[in-house]
Structure 1
């Protein structure tokens, strides 16, 4: 059985799919294949080599994504993850280019489906983003605005025209965004849930009871976003990455999952930047109002998202004699935290109990 770590196999595989890499290319050589360490839910590999077009050999690098041998921590199908990149290929949103999804048994490395996308040069790290020294104020605010600019592209994209209604649950109306997201997650959970959870039942009941109805627009939402999730180069985001929790819904869903990209900056008694300023900047860019109350709601709803993937990991642990440690960790420790998050919603207004999590 051919393995993904075998350079000769990967070269033959990519040569077989050469037209998907470049219709004008005549040959390809692969020089290295290595597994990347980042990421928990799936495996990410890098393949580097050169592609010959019109007699000229040009360096190229590719990313290969697939499930672990034991499956995926997150229940989002690998095909859906690939489809997001495929649908965004011709949009204004910067992403890695989807090349092909491999499900031909003859070419699946280690007998596992995989997909291949282009590599985008850059770095996920912004060393200055957490530096509170006054000298970094301007660059931190500039990076925050850049990130908001790219979220604006996501939220104003024509999700219907791009085809996202074919792969995601579509809310019946803007007012249905929160409840639609809950229904979609519970429908996924029903496929593998193996035991009841009182915290889940009570938490979902509370989330449905207080679900906001004032979302102004249904938008494409990225899910996990911010520092560590995007590819940066020269102060710009050159690729929006990690679309595992993407959905159609309220843009507040994305603001609830921003990682470090809205720093609170105050100098000499004057506010320079923070959530109110970021929301005003975003509104000016999109015309979409996002309220703090809706952001707080989706922060609480994250307990459901977390329960979904940790229970999925637990379901796979149950059926394997020697499950990987990452699955056990998600099933046990992170699964516990998901129930704490859900339990924290009982009898409280959304966002008012998060300090106990």
Structure 2
């Protein structure tokens, strides 16, 4: 520091001490909600209006688990077709943190996993798939995006954005995670996409819109699509760890048939005219599993540092010690349940 700089600093300190000057406030770290909003995906949802189970395309719209006004997982297929059903767009998220990284999991919910033909595929009540992003802390407010793992049924797919320092690990990287500017903020967001019907989720354009579809943008507003081909719909985020949220309801037997597995039955016409209807066939993030890979059931959300270490080669520091992880309080129960639970076919 120059002589003038030292003099200015001493003078400023003296003025603060004398009560004649207020010190500048320290820069506040962004909240987890702000972090989740900044990295939330721009999301391409393919839509099909074919057949009665599609509900004119509404079965492919994103919504909340309690879109019908209750937390009963066994009436969601039925209530999706009722006049009072809300398809205002919401996406659930959780944030866990280590000394080196943030891990952001986004969970996309549909009341129906549906098909419109009778051959070899099953439908089921409730559908939950998503993505976990790894963001490296680099001294900036929001860090830098390094990698992503998506959930498509019972398989995981890994991606890195252009320029990422992360490379293949035990699993081969499946593609590039594209980014796109949002009209609702100043950030470039990762871009994801889901297929119609079964709602497998991958990085765009490995899935994309084929004909009708909805493009969802992260926001603080929950909009309802105006129709099956609405390319500008805002979605709001819902914290999985919020009071009364999904994690708090994990032992609610009306919503979950087991730890991480949504309750669902065959009422309301599920499976009628198709091959079959499965029961208790959808998962929350702490139930996601790729049975062929080493991370255990649910660890994509509950222990994502382990997932990152398995799926990628990471230069530099990859801390495995969590400084914030509400899932960890139930880690023993989660691991025991994962060890003994049957594999859910989504």
Same fold (TM over 0.5): no
- RCO greater where, 1 or 2, for CA within 8 Å and sep 6 or more? 2
Give TM-score, length-normalised by structure 2.
0.28
Structure with bigger strand share is: 2
Structure with bigger helix share is: 1
Give TM-score, length-normalised by structure 1.
0.27
